[in-house]
Structure 1
Amino acid sequence: MSTADEFRRKKRATIIDVGHAAGVSDATVSRALNRPETVSEATRQKVQQAIVATGYVPNALAKAMVSGRSQTIGALIPTLDHAIFSKFLHTLESELSAQGFNLVVAVTNGNRDYEVSKAKKMLAMGVEGLIVSGLSHNDELTSEARRYGVPLVLTSYYQPDHAFPTIGYDNAKASALALDHLVAHGHRKIAVVHGPLVGNDRTRSRIAGLQEHPAAAGLNLIETDLSYAGGAAAIDRLTPGETAVLCLSDVLAMGALFVCQSRGIAVPQDLSIMGFDDLDPSKFVTPSLTTLSLPIAQMGQHTAAAMADHLMTGKPIRSIELPVMLQARASVAHRQS
């Protein structure tokens, strides 16, 4: 049996085992691993050979205990069922990894109490920062972040006067931009299809932006499940004379589009449909979906950069507003007289 096999069978090898195998102190092993320039080449070679012989692998937890740094960030996300959050996490993890940080993720299902519970577990693990979605959270979440002294960043929202930094977009301004586009195409009676308002401050902000718009009197607000089926069901709740449907999610818009096609309702000739998100499929449905492009990848990049820069240099994290872009495609047409 090899030395490495013996160590694996008995227990996980430590730097003490490496030191015994190399004939040096465990302090010398630590220097060879963490500050190799402080030991001789011959010593580094002996330590490396002992690492191979013992099967030693570094213990990240032990290193964190010694250094006081976990190099880990926690992200609390409402769901992974929607591509918006998956895209954000993909970019966030890539950017943090490039800066030497790890990312741990917890799904909260939009439940604030569950979010607090998950955050406490992350903080107990030693995460150095927390990233959450939206502005609405239990006071206990923010108090725990303060108690542990870790930065808390709120995403998918921009509100510069908030107590914590926000990195995202102005949801009210974005919905107003969408309504401007429909009004410019002659639509005055417009159905607005949206997901549940409870637990989703982003949707509430988008609705508020629409209600403050000069064309608000012509809007019919329809709340439904945030799903393809929910978008399809909303078509049955249109009122006579409505010529356009503004969906506050591409998922809802595509559900509405699919049911219109199945019923022989021509889009956009009979009914214009507009989405919100610019998910990848929106480009490829027929007709291609007019929508708003949210800066999800940029949000991940900026959040990671701000968090990493703060933890490495102490630079304060500032709120950042990212632009929302109109993607004018084929599902919206000028209202027929």
Structure 2
Amino acid sequence: MRKASLPKKRANLRDVAKAAGVSVATVSRVLNDPTVVKKDTLEKVQAAIAELKFVPSAAARAINSGRTKFVGALVPTLDNAIFARFLAALERKLSDHQLSLIVATTDSSPDIEAEKAKSLVDIGAEGLIVTGATHNPAFHDLIERTMLPTIITSFFDAGNPLPTIGYDNASAAQLALQHLADLGHQNIAVVHGPVHDNDRTRERLAGLRAFPFTGELTTFETQISHQGGADIAKLLGKLDTKPDAVLCLSDVVALGVLLGLQAQKIAVPDQISMVGVDDLPTSAVSVPPLTSVHLPVSQMGERAADALARWITTQQVPKPERLEARLVVRNSTKRG
């Protein structure tokens, strides 16, 4: 009876050095900066790596180079297409800088965010990208103590101690309200997600309050989900005096409101105009297609990646950068 052969031990840096007849330091240089290694030496080491099926660990590289070459991103959730688009662009651009990305979700909790930020720092993150400008004292203390390059996204505030790369949330909401006002709507329902621990929503609401609108705005808070939007649609359908327009501060909520109104045979836009904020891909193919404020989240991911990579490399703090939102008019709005 034949015994099953045990798997061979994974090759390490010393095994490669011995097989190639070079020092461990030379193998390390081949892995971290092959341009400084002579061609014949480089070829010998690469041949040994291939023969031994050597895969360098991140920990080993960090010990030898002093770098982990990864950054962390903290986002409220992955259950939202806007964060998926942002992270896809962020990761794609970081790879151009030979940086990897680790994503952690916070469930919109500052306490969870601070804990996960510490975990990312503990495993060697070279920088962080966070969502929004409001964070708890433990998070700020961590960044101050470690002096870790950290960039705020989805928010623009030139006066923030940390660099912000994002859009003006107040102005984005005002673009939507301006469009409805221009169409003559005077009784507008504003549907938004929870304001607690969400400075982006608070800024959008503040922008609406600051706008010189002569009509009536009535706000409704719900969960940022299709169901949350559908729940508000039921409530709107029961009102004696229905709004002539609905402004949703999230396309996810807007699509729920749209479906909820249609389930009650309330026609959009013939009876109620609708506008959202985000311009998710699904908004362009809803029935009717949703008028929405486009937020440049893919561009934001690319700019944040470039800025963080430069900061890590040069130790120069990037300047804040405002990205412009724009209105995309579709068939969910019409003159009131």
Q: What TM-score does the superposition give when structure 2 sets the normalisation length?
A: 0.92
Note the C-alpha offset of 1:294. 0.4
Matches within 5 A, 1:206-217: 206-215=204-213
Which structure ranks higher in relative contact order (CA pairs < 8 Å, sequence separation ≥ 6)?
2
1:107 CA drift (Å): 0.7
Question: Match of 2:7, SS?
Answer: helix
Identify the match of residue 139 of structure 1 among 130, 137, 140: 137
State the match for 1:169 in structure 2: 167
Per the alignment, do residues 43 and 276 of structure 1 end up closer, same or farther by CA in structure 2, a change over 3 Å counting? closer
The Cα of 1:40 is off from its aligned counterpart by 5.0
Residue of 10, 13, 18 corresponding to 1:12: 10
Q: Which moved more, 1:310-319 or 1:280-289?
A: 310-319
Aligned-partner Cα distance in 1 for 2:190–2:91: 34
Map of 2:95 onto structure 1: 97
How far apart are residue 51 of structure 1 and its match?
Answer: 2.3
Does residue 185 of the first structure (1) align with residue 183 of the second (2)? yes
1:199 maps onto 2:200 in alignment: no
Q: Map Cα deviations across residues 270-318 of structure 1 (whole Å, 9 max, x no partner).
A: 1111111100011111111111000101100110011111122233211
Q: Which of residues 5, 23, 26 in structure 1 aligns to 2:24?
A: 26
Q: Is the 8 A contact 1:249 1:275 kept in 2?
A: yes
Please name the residue that 1:243 is paired with. 244
Question: Of 42, 50, 53, which residue of structure 2 is paired with 1:52?
Answer: 50
Cα separation, 1, equivalents of 2:99 and 2:54: 23
What's 2:273 paired with?
A: 272
Partner residue, 1:252: 253
CA distance in 2, matches of 1:255, 1:37: 55
Gaps of 5+ in 2: none
Question: Is residue 163–residue 317 contact of structure 2 (8 Å, CA) maintained in 1?
Answer: no
What are structure 1's unaligned runs of at least 5 residues? Answer: 1-5
SS at match of 2:160: coil
The more displaced of 155-164 and 65-74 is: 65-74
Give the deviation of 1:259 after TM superposition.
1.9
Q: Percent identity?
A: 46
Shift of 1:38: 5.7
8 A Cα contact 1:196 1:224, kept in partner:
yes
126 and 243 in structure 1: CA distance in 2 versus 1, 3 angstrom threshold: same
Distance in 2, Cα, partners of 1:176 & 1:28: 59
Output the amino acid matched with 1:201. D
Show the counterpart of 1:84.
82
Query: What CA distance in whole angstroms lies between the structure 2 residues aligned with 1:274 and 1:44?
Result: 59
- Distance (whole Å) between structure 1 residues aligned to residue 187 and residue 29 of structure 2: 72
Cα distance change, pair 251–32 in 1 and its aligned pair in 2 (3 A): closer
What letter is aligned with 1:67? S
Distance 1:26 1:132 in 2: 38
Say whether 1:299 aligns with 2:300. Answer: yes
The separation in 1 between residues aligned to 2:280 and 2:130, in whole angstroms, is 21
Q: 1:80 and 1:185 mapped to 2: Cα distance? A: 35
Residues in 2 aligned to 1:235 and 1:170: alpha-carbon distance in whole angstroms: 28
- The corresponding residue for 1:220 is 218
The aligned residue for residue 122 of structure 2 is 124
- CA distance in 2 between partners of 1:197 and 1:60 (Å): 40
1:275 is paired with a residue whose SS is strand
Deviates more, 1:8-17 or 1:268-277: 8-17
TM-aligned CA distance change 1:29 to 1:237, over 3 Å: closer
What amino acid sits opposite 2:251 in the alignment?
Answer: D
CA deviations on 1:223-269 (whole Å, 9 max, x unpaired) are: 11211121122123334152111011111111111122222211111
Tell me if the contact between 2:233 and 2:258 (Cα under 8 Å) persists in the aligned partners.
no
CA RMSD of aligned residues (A): 1.9
Counterpart contact for 1:210–1:216, Cα < 8 Å: no
Could you say which residue in structure 2 is the equivalent of 1:285?
A: 286
Please tell me the residue identity of whatever aligns with 1:100. Q
Q: Deviations over 1:76-131 (max 9, x none)?
A: 11000000001000000000001111111101111111111111110011111111
Contact 1:293 1:326 (8 Å CA) reproduced: yes
Instruction: Give yes or no for contact 1:222–1:237 (8 Å, CA) kept in 2.
Output: no
| Separation (CA, whole Å) in 1 of partners of 2:156 and 2:254 | 24
Deviates most, 22-31 or 183-192? 22-31
Length, aligned pairs only: 329
